[in-house]
Every structure is written in C-alpha cells, then in structure tokens.
Amino acid sequence: MNNNKLAVIFPGQAAQRVGMLKTLAKHYSLVEETFAEVSEILGYDIWKLIQCGPSEELNKTYRSQPAILTASVAIWRIWKQQGGCMPRIMAGHSLGEYSALVCSESMDLYSAAKLVMIRGMLMQEVTPYGYGAMSVIIGLNDDMVFKCCRSAQKDQIVSPAGFNAPGHIVISGHKEAVNRVNLCCKNAGAKHIFMLPISVPSHCALMKPMVEKFRKALEQIVITTPNIPVVNNTDVCIEREPKAIRSALMRQLYTPVRWREIVQYCVHQKIKRFLEMGPGTILTGLVRNTVDNAFVLSINDPISFAEAMKVNWS
C-alpha cells in the first residue's frame, strides 16, 4: 500500500493559455509526442494551436478541454519517466477529473481526448456563444452567494457552479442572470468579481439537455478501476466501480464542483502535500486558501519540474 502524503491534482478549464508548456517541450520530447498522439485523434494540430493561437480559438470549449487534458497527461508522463513519486490520491477540478482518470489508468488518452472534445461540443451546442457565462465571486460566504442567485435569477437559470475555497465561489447560468448576481454580490461586499474565459456555463441546469447524448458517448469508452484512487467532483468520494465512475462524470455536467471539500477530504486522509500538474497555478492558490500551511507546488516548466523532483514527498 502507498502510504506517502502526496496528492496529484489536475486543473480544469480557464487554465489554458497560448504558449503553455513551451519551455517544458524544449527539455522533454514527451510533450510534443503526447500532443501529436492527440492531434491524430482530433484531426487538427493541437500543439500548433496552443503555441500560436489565436486565444479566441483556444478558449472555445471543445478546443480548450482536449488541450488542458493533454498538457496534464504530458506532465504526468514525464514525471513517471523521471522516476517521480507516485501519489496516494489523485483529483481533478471539473475537466481535470478526466486527466486524473487517464493518469490513474482508468481510461486511455485516446478515449478521453475524444470524449472531452465531444463533451465540449455538446456543451456549446446546448448553449450558443453569448448565451451563458461563468464568474468568480471572492469574499462572500456560501449563504450570501446562494441568496444573490435566488434573488437575481428571475425567470432564468443561475446557481453556484463551484466551491473552490473559502470565500471563492464560481457561479454559472444565463449571461444576464450572471451579471445580475455579480451586481448583487458587489453590493453585498464581495472583494473581487471577474468573468471566466469560458464559452459555456458549466455545472448548472443549462447543461441538462446534453446529458443523454453525452451518456451515449460515455458508454462507448472503456473504463476500469483506477490504479491510483481518484476523488470525484460530484460526491467527494473515491469510486472504484466503472458504473459509479460513469455516473459521477454524468452528474458532474450539471452539479457544482466541490473542490474545497476535495482538498479537505485529502487532508483528512493525512495527505499533506499537493502537486498540481497542468498549465497555470490555479489549484495551487485554491489549496493554499483552503488549508493553512499546505505544501503545494505546480509543475509545468523545467524549473518547477526540477524543484519538485528534489522534494521528499513521503
């Protein structure tokens, strides 16, 4: 049994940026090899899109989801190749749950890349550009954000879509309703509010019309028991049965990401160190905001990778 104190975590959408993993690719050929593998599946050069942009294209949900997934898997492959410490637990934020399932060998990269592309397309199909939005509310408690959502929704949909850290909540829904909630939260004393660079309103009831189509795509994918336990977004628990993993991925579409609870779950399992694998440092900040004195690193370039390799993760 693996008794170390390490959790590997994977970011979701909004982590993408043009030029990501550029310096890491210069040091490790596995980066471009992994992206080439996924490019064949997708039918376009995803590495070229990531390195050259434009960002408007990369930010489209059906482009950004495979891009972030592939980036995370590439980093994980290098970590394994270089003899990095194997974690006791894995978890991913929203889309990052797919990265965790690939890296835990519950599903293969080919299947996952195809699936998240379909996932992104279906999300866009049920919510055309400009129809929905997501924003981050910082500095208010859960109850106040719920209250603003209820008072501002009128005849539209808007609700909490992610509980990321104490006082760090994502909302999702119709664009006009999101704007109304933003104003309500601002008047209630929110410290900071900003829109996410995401083209669909994930993790809310607007996603329910895509559920059946996504179910059919998900049923085509082979899922096995993960080699490394994965804490899911929907129930904040570890599932080992493929049927239960599928169910959680389905419900994840329209229910909030419970990231704050996932981090707390890891801490209760005596996990004291977190390693974020993917573009950006979003989860690193969220973990630090949730757990006092958390030891957490994000790796996505040669310097951070070398630093992580020197750490005693046990």
Burial class of residue 219, CB neighbours in 10 A (0-12, 13-18, 19+):
exposed
User: CB under 8 Å, gap of 24 or more: what pairs does 140-147 form?
Assistant: 140/167, 140/169, 140/185, 140/188, 140/189, 140/190, 141/167, 142/169, 144/185, 144/188, 145/169, 145/171, 145/181, 145/185
Give the Cα separation of 167 and 159 in Å (integer): 15
Active-site residue numbers?
94, 203
Cβ–Cβ < 8 Å for 205, 160: no
Give the Cα separation of 15 and 279 in Å (integer): 6
